[in-house]
Amino acid sequence: MRVLTTDGSHFVGYAVVRALRPHAAHVGVLTRDPRRSAVARSRHVDAVDELALPARIPTYAVEGPHNAPEEAAFVDALCAICARDGIDIVFPTSDYEVLLLAKNRDLLAERGVVAPVPPFEGAMAAFDKVATPALATEVGLPAPRAIGVRDVAEAREAARELGLPVVVKPGFSFGGYGVGAARSLDEVAELVEHAQIFAPSVVVQEYVPGSSEPSIHAVLDTAGGIVAAFTVEKLRYAGASLSTAVRIAPDLPEADAALALARKLGVRGFVTVQLKRDSRDGSHKLIEVNPRLGANARIVVRLALRFGQNLPLLAAQAAAGPMERAARRLPVGRIGVSPFEDALAIATYRQARRDAPLDGNPLPPAGRLARSYLDTYVRRRPTVDFYARALVDDPAAALAGLRQTVEVWRGGNTRFLPWGGVR
């Protein structure tokens, strides 16, 4: 195996490098800035190329599977690197790259390169914030109502129909960009204008009250067969997309429907179906589908690896064709943690208390939070994330990764923090 990964999300890129290094004859990385990249500075990387997509290209607005000029230039350079280094698998680490590689799956396949991404139609469907909830309902997975709007006037009307508070997001949203919660119609208007920076279409969605946000992680092969699947409960957060401690949870009643949704969307390879427990009726409702490894890959991939499931390796194998389901199941109750980010979570908790959480999403009392830290670090033997481990055997990458983490943390949003895993 000869691997190339991007570091659009350094959490994902570094997890892929560490998981696949024992199985790969060559590991390369694409980066925007080799001097600051945690992945590029790893001693486990054989080659570094300075290549990245433009910071914001409108892939979310594409009407068909055609490359924009900037994308075409990126793909040409990518193919040249693959030919030079004999690359046979390319791992994306951000939503932009998932969609771009999905557009060019056949072109890469002609050159002997596999990308563990869904077909273009599946990727677009997963990112569509109106179509996905509608399809979820068809397969029996509860989902919040979502209304597509074109302007502020329609958004205000949708908010009146759904009832405040509401969530406002781009029609095709990547990585949480442009997503916000509105308690008033004036806030709705502000958020619509902000969301339109990222996509021309906007979605106003029912707000789901609750303080627990589990997610189902799975690998699907080319035939839609389930290679691996397990549920993760998030315990603490340093930011809206930065969970710092997770626990393997029992399967949810909605798990089968969530996986059926992934199949219906045409998602292949790795997928995360993010849910939220509705405090009104106890059901778990769809939040979003991510056809890629998420930011908590630094914990989840390491935790799964400790108990016999190499998720990037399974995704690479599954991308090549149908395969058998992984026999080993992850042990329920096991905890994975990012110690450095988990310390930042204390400051995030204090900020979230000052920001007044949304109704129906209460933060736990400080005493309960303290007990959760005690349980994690004293009473249990948690699996630490890749960066914590790398402080010993890959310090340059670890220090660069921690610096990048602080940058992500400083820009975090505290209004969507469901600390329901803290007991």
CA–CA distances in Å: residue 147 to residues 129, 159, 205, 265, 276: 9, 9, 6, 19, 19
Tell me, what's the pLDDT at 242? 84
Task: Report how far residue 157's alpha carbon sits from residue 163's, in angstroms, rounded to the nearest whole number.
Answer: 10
- CATH superfamily name and code, 145-206: ATP-grasp fold, A domain (3.30.1490.20)
For residue range 48-99, what is the model confidence (pLDDT) as tens digits?
999 987 765 555 445 568 888 888 899 999 999 999 999 999 999 888 888 8
Class at the top of the CATH hierarchy for domain 2-117: alpha beta
Mean pLDDT in the chain? 88
Q: Please give the structure tokens belonging to residue 100.
A: 């771009």
Q: Where are the domains of the chain?
A: 2-117, 145-206
**Which residue type sits at 397?**
A
Measure the CA–CA gap between 210 and 208, rounded to whole angstroms.
6
Span 382-419, pLDDT tens digits: 999 999 999 999 999 999 999 988 888 887 666 667 77
Residue type, 370: A
Rounded to whole angstroms, how far apart are CA atoms 212 and 421? 6
- The structure's pTM equals 0.91
Distance, in Å, from the CA atom of 340 to the CA atom of 385, rounded to the nearest integer, reads: 10
| 141/213 Cα distance (integer angstroms) | 15
Helix (H, G, I), strand (E, B) or coil at 118: coil
Q: What counts of helices (H) and strands (E) characterise the chain?
A: 15, 15
Contacts (Cβ under 8 Å, ≥6 apart) of 402: 340, 387
Q: If phi over 0 gives left and psi between -120 and 50 gives alpha, with beta otherwise, what is residue 217?
A: beta
Apex CA 347: angle with CA 213 and CA 407, to 5°?
85
